[in-house]
Amino acid sequence: MVLTPRLSTHSAPVPPTQPTHPAVVEANEAIRALVDERAGQDWSSVESAKYEILLIEWAAATRGTGSGMTEAA
């Protein structure tokens, strides 16, 4: 069976983009740097934990709750 996407006959309005919070940009850059640094290599448990913490910080920043979760992680 072949699935074909349904095409909308009307276009929905595009929501305005909001400026990205500096904490989100900072977390994205840190995640990218870590991933680029370890590309194609196995990660140690410390690197995996660092990645997990960065993802928690990114998630908190995208929700606007700050990065206070790092201490609890």
pLDDT for 31-41, tens place per residue?
A: 899 888 888 88
| pLDDT value for 52 | 92
| pLDDT value for 9 | 60
| pLDDT value for 40 | 85
- What would the mean pLDDT of 39-49 be, rounded to a whole number? 88
And the tokens for 27? 């977390």
Q: How far separated are the first and last CA of the chain, in Å rounded? A: 46
How do the residues of the chain divide into helix, strand and coil, expressed in percent and rounded to 5? 50, 0, 50
Overall pTM surpassing 0.75 (yes/no): no
Instruction: Determine what percent of the chain is predicted with pLDDT higher than 70.
Output: 60
Query: How many angstroms separate the CA atoms of 17 and 40, rounded?
Result: 34
In a 3-state reduction of DSSP, which class is residue 8?
coil
Mean pLDDT estimate for the chain: 75
Burial of 20 (0-12, 13-18, 19+ CB in 10 A): exposed
